[in-house]
Structure 1
Amino acid sequence: MRILVLGGTRFIGRRVVEALVARGDEVLVVHRGQSEPEGGPACPHLHANRRHFAAVAGRVRDFAPDAVVDTYALTRRDVEAVLPHLPDAHLLVLSSVDVYQAFEALLTGDRTPVPVPFGEDAPVRRSRHLYRGKGMGLDDYDKLDVEPAYLARGGTALRLAMIYGPHDQQRREEPVLRRVRAGRERIPVGPGTALVTRLHVDDTAAAVLAALDRPAAASGEVFNIGETTSYSMHGWMRLILQAAGHEAELVQVADDVLPADLALTGATVPHVLASSRKAADLLGFRPRDPAAAIADSVRWHLAHPPADAFTDFAEDDRALSSVSR
């Protein structure tokens, strides 16, 4: 197949391109040119800011893609700048489970019960632009503004769970690994009962390929994409510690003394548990065992520690001092 990938140089997009090239697809990547992955797969790149996508639209049409994968549409403007210039092809856009009410509850602390696991017909968020005014440069971000135009053209939206793995800029395992590197033997945590659906970046790429290979089943549809087994926050932390070969006691403390980076272990954190049964039934999507996937990710992140690794554990010491040994 001839596949046009929008984005495609960082984390998820990078892995999607690697998987496509590895299986022999002809790939053209269009991105801003701000990052060129070292050791990435050999395929042609076009450099264009999304706002100026019209300038390369002719070259995209000449490429005549069978499918388009948009890995980095974050806002309504991102879609409006690109979609009118895309040729008729199977369109696939990466979305997020953050469109659901369950995710809204995670950010706002809303304790209204939300049934889990939730499927694609679950209620979506009532509010929009979750990160507006929070200084994250994401004021206009909202996947609820991204999906409709793609779906209207018969496209496919993959609502991804919490993605982790090599090259993850958010470094999901870092709250545990920074304490591993520091040799911390006690880690303050809350009850840690929340269940959050996760997904290794390799399985994300596998889901993209599965949707591309089944356009008839995928056209006009949305799919939750996540692991079929979800661990509690405590279970997830223990798997990370095990993979890192580090023994540490998880010491339960009150929520009001939890270190900020361990807030998701708190008592009031709701479940964000998405069902991927539809993707399994219609696309044949089968993620691998999450314990093995987590171990692979941990090994990569231990070998590639952040240059600005956090080393101040005063919050840990204060929290631990609040409980008796």
Structure 2
Amino acid sequence: MRVLVVGGTGPSGPHVVRGLAERGHEVTIFHRGTHEPPEARDHEHLHGDPHFRESIDEALGTRTFDAVLAMYGRVQHLAPALRGRCDQFVSVGGVPVYRGYFPRPGSRLAIPVEEDDPLVDPASDDPALRFSGRLAEAERAVFAEHPRGTVLRYPMLYGPNNARPHEWSVVRRIRDRRPFMILPDGGIQVHTRCAVRNAAAFVLAAVDRPAAAAGQVFNCGDPVSWSFRDWAQLVARLMGAELDIVALPRDVAIEATTSILPLAGTTAEHCVLSTEKARHVLGYQPAVDPVAAMAELLAWYDERPDFEPGANPSFTDRFDYATEDALVAHYRAALRRLGDAVEQRPAAPAHSMPHPQRPGLVDDRGR
């Protein structure tokens, strides 16, 4: 089968390309040429910008394919450009498409989020919702041009060569022997993540079962969802380190909120995706255990002691330790002052059910 992979050089792309090749498919990669991963050298490359229709038409000419995997670029241009030129069209989008991902009055994100939950209104004037609206419009373009197309919704990814390596905030602090890490509200937020190998497995499952995938939307994600606190502590444990978590309110921990939480802390507190549909309809199975995937990623960092994502504008953590130390010291001093200023009486523990000591009597609480 002839498969066109649009993108294919990002974090999950090489795993998709490898999986296609292992299945005996003939792979063509269409991308800008900015990154040329060594594992993709054995496949045909077409260079152009998949964000613009004229560049798409120039790069692809009149070629046809059995399947197209749109993992990068503007789907609003790719979908019509490839109408009638492929039997299967699979598009990769994201979870901000759901109404409530950016919380607003009257819109809350369900827990867990399922594929038929409401989508954002693309006509909103809100800047964040306009971003979500473009994702919704892209999905509509897929099904308008390819009624038997498929849409996959990615959550946050983790793995080598990620444009925004969230775990680096933890890894570098451990390398720098920091005793603590600030997490907004203690890191109670739970967001589904997906190892890049597992993300690729969702795409490959759709390719393997085109009839089942036709006309469908699927959430993607690991089988477990960690809170930010659990995730940071997992990284520390796998690195053999101890890292205290300092819980500060997000309106105090401004730098941590805007650099560590998704999209600068503007999203719903929890975004937990259900992936049951992909399991039942596509027979999806994870390619790697999430803890093993994180261990593999940390080994990748170990091989790169000079790793520094500072040149990538998607990564915003400044590692300003002097400011962090001062903030924590002032916050703890304020807590002490508050504790001294207001006298409080702790409530005694009480079991919810009565516990009488003899038949026919009540317990010490009169129950």
Q: TM-score, normalised by structure 1?
A: 0.85
| Counterparts in 2 of 1:78 and 1:59: CA distance versus 1, 3 Å | closer
Distance in 2 (CA, whole Å) between partners of 1:126 and 1:168 is 29
8 Å CA contact retained: 2:75, 2:142? no
Letter in 1 for 2:136: L
8 Å CA contact retained: 1:253, 1:319? no
8 Å CA contact retained: 2:122, 2:137? no
Distance in 1 (CA, whole Å) between partners of 2:59 and 2:260 is 44
2:205 aligned partner: 210
Letter in 1 for 2:179: E
Deviates more, 1:160-169 or 1:38-47: 38-47
1:271 aligned partner: 270
Q: Which residue, out of 137, 146, 149, partners 1:145?
A: 137
8 Å CA contact retained: 2:186, 2:246? no
Distance in 2 (CA, whole Å) between partners of 1:168 and 1:286 is 22
Are positions 1:179 and 2:176 aligned together?
Answer: no
Taking the TM superposition and a 5 Å limit, the aligned residue runs for 1:59-138 are 60-61=63-64, 65-74=65-74, 76-77=76-77, 79-80=79-80, 82-84=81-83, 87-105=85-103, 113-126=108-121
1:230 aligned partner: 225
Letter in 2 for 1:150: V
Cα offset, 1:123, TM superposition: 1.1
CA deviation profile, 1:221-266 (whole Å, cap 9, x unmatched): 0001111211111111111111222211112223233133234698
Letter in 2 for 1:73: G
2:295 aligned partner: 295
| Counterparts in 2 of 1:74 and 1:2: CA distance versus 1, 3 Å | same
1:160 aligned partner: 154
| Counterparts in 2 of 1:307 and 1:191: CA distance versus 1, 3 Å | closer
| Counterparts in 2 of 1:113 and 1:139: CA distance versus 1, 3 Å | closer
Cα offset, 1:77, TM superposition: 4.1
8 Å CA contact retained: 1:173, 1:298? no
Cα offset, 1:129, TM superposition: 8.5
Q: TM-score, normalised by structure 2?
A: 0.76
| Counterparts in 2 of 1:89 and 1:78: CA distance versus 1, 3 Å | closer
1:13 aligned partner: 13
3-state SS of paired residue (1:27): strand
Distance in 2 (CA, whole Å) between partners of 1:117 and 1:272 is 7
Instruction: Please tell me the root mean square deviation across aligned C-alpha atoms, in Å.
Output: 3.0
8 Å CA contact retained: 2:28, 2:46? yes
Distance in 2 (CA, whole Å) between partners of 1:213 and 1:32 is 27
Distance in 1 (CA, whole Å) between partners of 2:280 and 2:164 is 31
| Counterparts in 2 of 1:323 and 1:75: CA distance versus 1, 3 Å | farther
3-state SS of paired residue (1:144): helix
Letter in 1 for 2:169: P
Distance in 1 (CA, whole Å) between partners of 2:106 and 2:188 is 15
Q: How many residues align?
A: 313
Structure 1, unmatched stretches of 5+, are: none
8 Å CA contact retained: 2:181, 2:244? yes
Deviates more, 1:116-125 or 1:71-80: 71-80
8 Å CA contact retained: 1:74, 1:141? no
Structure with higher RCO (Cα < 8 A, 6+ apart)? 1
Cα offset, 1:48, TM superposition: 2.1
Using the aligned pairs only, state the percent identity. 33
3-state SS of paired residue (2:63): helix
| Counterparts in 2 of 1:262 and 1:252: CA distance versus 1, 3 Å | same
3-state SS of paired residue (1:143): helix
Cα offset, 1:113, TM superposition: 4.0
